Amino acid sequence: MMNAVLIVDDDAARLEQLAFELTARSDFRVRTATTAARAIESLETPGLRAVVCAEGSAGEAAIELLREARTRRTPADVAFVLVVRPNGLGTRIDAWSWDADAVLTEPVHAAEVQACLQALLRRRSVNALAAEEFQRVNRTVDELQDVLVALLHAAYPAAERRGEELASLSLRVARGLDVPAEMLEEMRRAARLHEIGRLLSESGPASRLETVSPSVLAASAGLLSRLPALTGTAKLIGGMAANWDGSGSLVHLERGEIPMRSRILRATGDFLWVRAIRRWGAQVAIESLMLHSGTYYDPAVLAELALVVSQQDPHTSEPDFEPLRVEHLTEGLMLVHDLCTSSGVKLLSAGAVLTPASLRLIAERHAIDPIVHAVATRRLNR
């Protein structure tokens, strides 16, 4: 279908001249409108690829049309070119604020408008191809992931269940720590594939292979890193074998040698293993990990994991358990777990009752060394 271009100008003579020259110079199917209201009606034109709008006598009408175009059609659908008067600074600023693709200055020649439109449409075609390729690669990676999980499950029937359980728990902890949503899919992939190294590094009956040793994680990372689309997943899995590096305050939740998502996977994976193999209750399993807070495990991750487990496991939740952010802590509350900062500094022990002095201590430390997780508390008067 021929590309449709809508030209809007309240100067009828200038509009007619530009439309004529564009039609003669190019293969655009040109439509015209002399008012913003008529132009808005034309935004639904099939095949509309671009709008060229002159500021005219009322710059507000041009910006109104731009806003309407961005509301009705995505920027990837329709290119918007605004032609402003030489002194139209305010209109220029509004145009860029509403994602105009180009701003030209009167007087403008038809050849310039044509070149501008062709450049914008070429760019859109390239971007569309790139987006399509990106989606194709993502689909391929998803299919590959499913194949790898199926192979692993065939050799070790419980592996798929363990991977999904690890993914589910890790995602809950990650959301509690405000890990950006765009990072979660890769973490889920790492959780599902963290045992793929069993196929290379271990042998024997599946019933004997309930733990995930560092050699399995190393083999998983080595295998997956050979595939460019899975190098990020391999990095996360490789980081699961490392002890906490004490990297301190979090920058985009990825600061330090060990990615935050690897720290989450390490803690949640060991928690699930301890609970399953030693047949401990969830609270006992959490407490066993707490013994290594600040050495094997990131204290912030363990604190958030303890909250998630306490909230979701009816056998471990206490009736007076209350998770609070630092700014909501008040005098008289008792800590359920040790209170640690993101750098691993232990401020107060479990069982400590908050006083004005301890609240000042927490606030002062929080300002320079944030407590990024909610704090488990108990009200003594209940």
How much is the pLDDT for 75? 57
How much is the pLDDT for 206? 41
3 state SS of 45: coil
Buried-exposed string 81-113: b where 16+ CB fall within 10 A, e elsewhere = bbbbbeebeebbebbeebebbbbbeeebebeeb
How much is the pLDDT for 204? 45
Contact 59, 91 (CB under 8 A): yes
3 state SS of 151: helix
How much is the pLDDT for 248? 60
Q: What is the pLDDT of residues 183-215, one digit of tens each?
A: 899 999 999 999 998 887 755 444 344 457 888
Residue 328 phi, psi dihedral angles, 5° rounding: -105, 0
Q: What is the pLDDT of residues 26-85, one digit of tens each?
A: 778 888 888 878 888 888 778 888 899 888 765 678 888 888 888 876 656 788 998 888
Contact 79, 117 (CB under 8 A): yes
Q: What is the pLDDT of residues 276-333, one digit of tens each?
A: 877 778 888 888 888 888 888 988 899 889 888 887 665 444 444 566 778 888 888 8
How much is the pLDDT for 209? 40
* Cα 66 to the center of its chain, rounded Å: 29
Residue 167 predicted with pLDDT over 50:
yes
Residue of 255 and 338 predicted with greater confidence: 338
Nearest-CA neighbor of 378 among 310, 332, 347? 332
Q: pTM above 0.75?
A: no
* Cα 168 to the center of its chain, rounded Å: 17
Average pLDDT score over the chain: 82
